[in-house]
Amino acid sequence: MDQLPNLGREQEMLASMGLKSIDDLFSDIPEDVRRIDPLPLRGPQSEEEIWADAQHLLGANIDLDSRPSFLSAGLARNFVPTMVPMLATRGEFLTSYTPYQPEVSQGMLQAMWEFQTMVSELVGLPVSNVSMYDASTAAAEAITTAVRVKGRKATQKGVVYVSQFVPPHRLSVIENYTQGVGIELRTLEHNSDGMVNLEAASAAAGACAVYVEQPNAFGELDEGITQMKEIIGENTALIVGVDAVSLGIVEAPGNYGADIVVGEGQPFGIGPTAGGPIYGLFACKKDYLRLMPGRIVGKTLDEDGNDAFTLTLSTREQHIRRHRATSNICSNETLIALMGAMHMALLGPEGLEKLALRVAATTEVTKQAISGIPGVELVDPNTPNFREFAVKLPGNAADAVAHMDAAGVLGGFPMGEWWDSMSSCLLIGCDERTKQSDIDALVSALTAWVEEVSA
Amino acid sequence: MSEIFDFNGAKGSGWSQPEPMKKDAINTVPSSLRRSALPRWPRASEPELVRHYTWLSQRNFGIDTGFYPLGSCTMKHNPRINERIVQLPGIDRIHPLQPVHQIQGLLSIFYEMQEMLEICAGMDQVTLQPVAGAQGEFTAIRCIQEYHRQNGDIQRDKVIVPDSAHGTNPASAAMCGYEIVEIPSGDDGRLDLDALRAAVGEDTAAMMITNPSTLGIFEPDIAEAADIVHTAGGQMYYDGANFNAILGKTDPGRMGFDAVHYNLHKTFSQPHGGGGPGSGPIGVKSHLADFLPSPIADREETEEGGATGDGYRYFWRTPPNSIGKVQQWHGNSGAVVRAWAYYRRYGRELELMSEHAVLNANYLRHQIMNPNREHQNSIHSMPVDGAPTEVVKHEFTLSMMPLKETTGVTGKDIAKRLLDYGYMSPTLYFPMIVPECLMIEPTETESREVLDKFAEDFLTILSEDPEVIQTAPHTTDVRRVDEVLAARTLVLRKEFDD
């Protein structure tokens, strides 16, 4: 057993303690709860055998890069620079714990402080933590944070308005995080063109918070959101969920009044990874700092007066405050945030802008191509899109996806899985890697299906 | 010291990208929504960044650097095959919403892991969705909450935790809206059954407890505690942070628990990465299974052999009364795959892992608490064992109170001095019931030589000039860091001059 350096030396170690057998070490477990029989599991494997099985099992999956793929729905089929995994998996980073001892953890602490700065710059807000689990938990804890901060002055006690188009899997997380702590979620309606209904938004003035997404779940950019803060007022927090890459060309929400910005960090740093580990972005105004969740790194001095970094404001956290903590989060997604920081730093400002423009370009080209298919209509023909757009099909979108799948194209996400009323709608996701030949394949596969159902 | 923002020499981006497919793509953004100024990110080339991050890594202590006896965190070696496997496109380049026939291999690994974890904990159904131990706690308490609601037991609004519990236990229960009842430990640090009897009632929703406790000792009365809570109508929740101590020797199911979380980043070697990712699957008994988050991996026999050739077709299943989701997707799949690779290394011999973890903890405790004559004569004061039991499980606690009383040297000073000797400090000042506490967990992947050397160095420190200890560390990248100043000045990002 290669993982156990003391295998075969048990007896001498036991003898030095005056013990006879390994069983003596477990004699404190009462017999009525002791397991006598061996675990009914398979036999051990060598590294070689594990690798072979991993190749076999994971090789049975069809990966996104192996075919034209238009499935996004909140995750990005990105390209992660080679440097990123190579450096992030250096053992000193990979095998460290949360930096409780700053004197021997300056590397990760500084990297996270730099991460906080880059996220802060990206979204236009002064404070960022070192990551949440994902976009959904970031949104959920942004809401509970806002209620803690705005609760007293709010005239609509405990009320939070959530955009009608927050997808159900994200909404479900929000509901689980808010249901027990006196928060009432109300729906913020959108107009028929997909944009937030600003008149309805005025009803949110006096609530604790409003949560909207920019772009929304259909990939639609909404100019109205820039007026939202003025409409809801100072006593109601504006929380904006973003596509992080879009911020290379779309205004930072902090510059149009957002109090808290959340989003999926995944496009920077790591592949879709079957949904995790990824990381959630969480940034806010200074008024939220003392009631926000998650680890925060501060810059300070050491005893000799040299610059140093350390975790700070831990009095918010569970290991100090226990049930009065702002959140139960402790382990977060630091290593993935580190990968994100590396990716962001490598891009730089101009690289970010270019990345965003690449996504905008493929989105636009794909949108034009798809809307030219007879029988296929854009759900919202006049709205600008980033990364994703929704089309209405002459039939069930899940059938269309299955049909295209048989033709070797991953054609998008059937929106009926989110909302029953949208079973004929297909959400098509593009990214910086979408090629003209991918778009041609999608058009051809979708056209073939449309012709078949229309025949 | 150099910061990443010092790199600002290069023109343009430090990374090459193809040109956009279309020239005027900026026109897709309405002018009122266009970004006014780009973020002030560094402008750095790949060679500069590789050197920057290599330098940062060299200023960071990991298991790979040295002994990491951080109690309660199970800092065992992270096998490198795990990292190689998760680079495969069959996990890295997978979208969780792909049609199930495209991800049969992933589902089969999920299924195998669910089944294995069920067996190891004596539970009936596992979900791999929670992405951290704390989220596992939260998820399980949510399931228990819905269970009570379905039974009409809405008056159950309290969750009981011992005062030695991890801080996440009360924090997670409070996030579900529960009131926390903290019960004091007995004088021996163990669960006090009388205190528990006095605390339970018709308002008890659940009790959350870890066993072995945070003192590293097994609670012998655990089955009786479960009876007390169950008789009152409450549910028993097992905090699996200390699972590394008992795997294969007993399980929470036998002890009477209804729900449990596992830390794949502790017991199953997912590297902790300086603060995550973790993975915190939960397992429950059948009466709670209908409430688990969706989806769960399931399978049915197929005559076509199945995509993985094992005769099964795998699919996602939503439990009938599911609480929904706690993470947007299926959890930290990458961590699950690493844990799967780790499990495959041991298979049915997993109990060897626990045996050696407990062997090492007891051995190290013995080496420290039984100093040779030379040390005996020079040590200022011996620590007091936090739990005066014959054996401990995977970890043990030492109170440095006598040393503080005789010399003024605190537990924190010892922790900092250990850094000078090339060790990570043990967990400090936890559990709170042990004054000046150091909590030490060596794990099974340390050799006897490392344990001997650590004990020797630890005892040497106890006889050092108090002044040297109190001003430690002396040899680290920075000297003792001013945490008070950090909290007062709150410099949380780089401020630019322009």
Q: What is the CATH number of the domain that holds A443?
A: 3.90.1150.10
Chain B residues inside the 8 Å CB shell of A360: 20, 25-26, 28-29
Is the Cβ pair A169, B444 closer than 8 Å?
Answer: no
Same domain, A375 and A394: yes
Q: Report pLDDT for A274.
A: 97
| pLDDT (mean) for B363-371 | 97
Same domain, A92 and A207: yes
Say if residue B383 is preceded by a cis peptide, omega within 30 of 0: no
Judge whether residue B432 has pLDDT over 90. no
Among the three residues A343, A368, A389, which one is the final residue of a domain in this structure? A343
Taking Cα atoms as reference points, which of B160, B126, B131, B155 lies closest to residue B143?
A: B126
| Torsion angle of C-alpha atoms B131, B133, B138, B143, degrees rounded to 10 | 80
Share of chain B above pLDDT 70, in %: 100
Q: Report pLDDT for A155.
A: 96
Average pLDDT, chain B: 96
The C-alpha atoms of residue B460 and residue B440 are separated, in whole angstroms, by: 17
Same domain, A140 and A184: yes
Judge whether residue B421 has pLDDT over 80. yes
Phi–psi pair at B109, nearest 5 degrees: -70, -40
The C-alpha atoms of residue B295 and residue B292 are separated, in whole angstroms, by: 8
Residue A46 resides in a domain: no
Same domain, A335 and A388: no
Chain A residues inside the 8 Å CB shell of B447: 5-6
Judge whether residue B396 has pLDDT over 80. yes
Better-predicted residue by pLDDT, A357 or B1 = A357
A94 touches B at CB < 8 Å: yes
Residue B413 resides in a domain: no
Judge whether residue B304 has pLDDT over 80. yes
The C-alpha atoms of residue B1 and residue B477 are separated, in whole angstroms, by: 11
Which CATH number is B325's domain given? 3.40.640.10
Chain A residues inside the 8 Å CB shell of B21: 358, 361-362, 365, 434, 436
CB burial class (10 A; 0-12, 13-18, 19+) of residue B370?
A: middle
The model's pLDDT over A86-108, given as tens digits with 9 standing for 90+, comes to: 999 999 999 999 999 999 999 99
Classify residue A208 as left (phi > 0), alpha (psi -120 to 50) or beta.
alpha
Q: What is the DSSP string of A76-144?
A: ------THHHHHHTSHHHHT--S--SGGG-HHHHHHHHHHHHHHHHHHT-SEE-S-BSSHHHHHHHHHH
The C-alpha atoms of residue A246 and residue B63 are separated, in whole angstroms, by: 38
How far CA B243 is from CA of A425, B212, B252, in Å, comes to: 46, 8, 9
Judge whether residue A318 has pLDDT over 90. no
For chain A, how many residues are written? 455
Q: Report pLDDT for A112.
A: 98
Judge whether residue A388 has pLDDT over 70. yes
Residue B367 resides in a domain: no
Chain A residues inside the 8 Å CB shell of B86: 273
The C-alpha atoms of residue A76 and residue A245 are separated, in whole angstroms, by: 10
Q: Three-state SS for B58?
A: helix
- Residue type for B446, please? E
CB burial class (10 A; 0-12, 13-18, 19+) of residue B32?
A: exposed
Better-predicted residue by pLDDT, A454 or B413 = B413
Domains contained in chain A, number? 2
Same domain, A286 and A430: no
Judge whether residue A172 has pLDDT over 70. yes
Judge whether residue A2 has pLDDT over 90. no
The model's pLDDT over A422-437, given as tens digits with 9 standing for 90+, comes to: 999 999 999 999 999 9
Share of chain B above pLDDT 90, in %: 94
State the pairing for strand pair B396-399/B437-440: antiparallel
The C-alpha atoms of residue B376 and residue B92 are separated, in whole angstroms, by: 55
CA B104 to chain A, closest CA, distance in angstroms equals: 6
Residue B357 resides in a domain: no
| pLDDT (mean) for B289-310 | 96
Residue B30 resides in a domain: no
Is the Cβ pair B79, A47 closer than 8 Å?
Answer: yes
How far CA B416 is from CA of B305, B420, B426, B479, in Å, comes to: 59, 7, 10, 10
Residue A45 resides in a domain: no
**Cβ pair B36, A377 in contact under 8 A:** no
Domain coverage including residue A407: 65-78+348-454
> B183 pairs with which residues across the strands?
B162
Domain coverage including residue B159: 82-349
Chain B residues inside the 8 Å CB shell of A71: 95, 97-98
State the DSSP code for B486.
H
| Confidence tier at B498 by pLDDT (50, 70, 90) | low
> A184 pairs with which residues across the strands?
A159
The model's pLDDT over A438-455, given as tens digits with 9 standing for 90+, comes to: 999 999 999 999 999 988
The C-alpha atoms of residue A91 and residue B297 are separated, in whole angstroms, by: 32
| Confidence tier at A316 by pLDDT (50, 70, 90) | confident
A386 touches B at CB < 8 Å: yes
The model's pLDDT over A327-340, given as tens digits with 9 standing for 90+, comes to: 999 999 999 999 99
Chain A residues inside the 8 Å CB shell of B41: 118, 121-122, 344-345, 347-349, 352
| pLDDT (mean) for A245-264 | 98
Same domain, A312 and A405: no
Share of chain A above pLDDT 70, in %: 100
CB burial class (10 A; 0-12, 13-18, 19+) of residue B218?
A: buried
Share of chain A above pLDDT 90, in %: 96
Average pLDDT, chain A: 97
Residue B404 resides in a domain: no
Q: Report pLDDT for A311.
A: 97
Same domain, A360 and A339: no
| pLDDT (mean) for A141-167 | 97
Domains contained in chain B, number? 1
A409 touches B at CB < 8 Å: no
Q: Report pLDDT for B189.
A: 85
Same domain, A265 and A314: yes
The C-alpha atoms of residue B402 and residue B396 are separated, in whole angstroms, by: 17
| pLDDT (mean) for B99-128 | 98
How far CA A105 is from CA of A111, A269, A332, B478, in Å, comes to: 10, 21, 17, 9
Q: Using CB atoms, which residue from B60, B248, B327 is nearest to A133?
A: B327
The C-alpha atoms of residue A417 and residue A414 are separated, in whole angstroms, by: 6
Judge whether residue B13 has pLDDT over 90. no
The model's pLDDT over B235-270, given as tens digits with 9 standing for 90+, comes to: 999 999 999 999 999 999 999 999 999 999 999 999
Taking Cα atoms as reference points, which of B50, B130, B73 lies closest to residue B274?
A: B73
Taking Cα atoms as reference points, which of A96, A95, A112 lies closest to residue A265?
A: A112
Same domain, A74 and A151: no
Judge whether residue A53 has pLDDT over 80. yes
Residue to test with chain A: of B6, B7, B21, most A Cβ within 10 A: B21
| pLDDT (mean) for B380-391 | 93
Chain A residues inside the 8 Å CB shell of B36: 251, 255
Better-predicted residue by pLDDT, B497 or B494 = B494
Is the Cβ pair B87, A30 closer than 8 Å?
Answer: no
Which CATH number is A160's domain given? 3.40.640.10
| Confidence tier at A188 by pLDDT (50, 70, 90) | very high
Same domain, A339 and A409: no
Token digits of residue B249: 């020797």
Element (H, E) at B459: helix B448-462
Token digits of residue B210: 């870890």
Judge whether residue A321 has pLDDT over 90. no
CA B472 to chain A, closest CA, distance in angstroms equals: 10
Residue B356 resides in a domain: no
Judge whether residue B8 has pLDDT over 90. no
How far CA B167 is from CA of A145, A316, A318, B320, in Å, comes to: 19, 12, 5, 32
How far CA B132 is from CA of A109, A134, A289, B122, B261, in Å, comes to: 21, 12, 23, 21, 9
Same domain, A441 and A294: no
- Residue type for B237, please? Y
The model's pLDDT over A392-402, given as tens digits with 9 standing for 90+, comes to: 999 999 999 99
Strand ranges for A331-394 from DSSP E? 377-378, 388-392
Same domain, A205 and A305: yes
Token digits of residue B166: 């991890």
| pLDDT (mean) for B160-165 | 92
**Cβ pair A291, A326 in contact under 8 A:** yes
The interface predicted TM-score (ipTM) is: 0.97
| Confidence tier at B187 by pLDDT (50, 70, 90) | confident
Angle between helices A168-178 and A135-150 (to 10 degrees): 40
Q: Report pLDDT for A1.
A: 58
Q: Using CB atoms, which residue from A30, A96, A313 is nearest to B220?
A: A30
Phi–psi pair at A110, nearest 5 degrees: -65, -40
Residue A43 resides in a domain: no
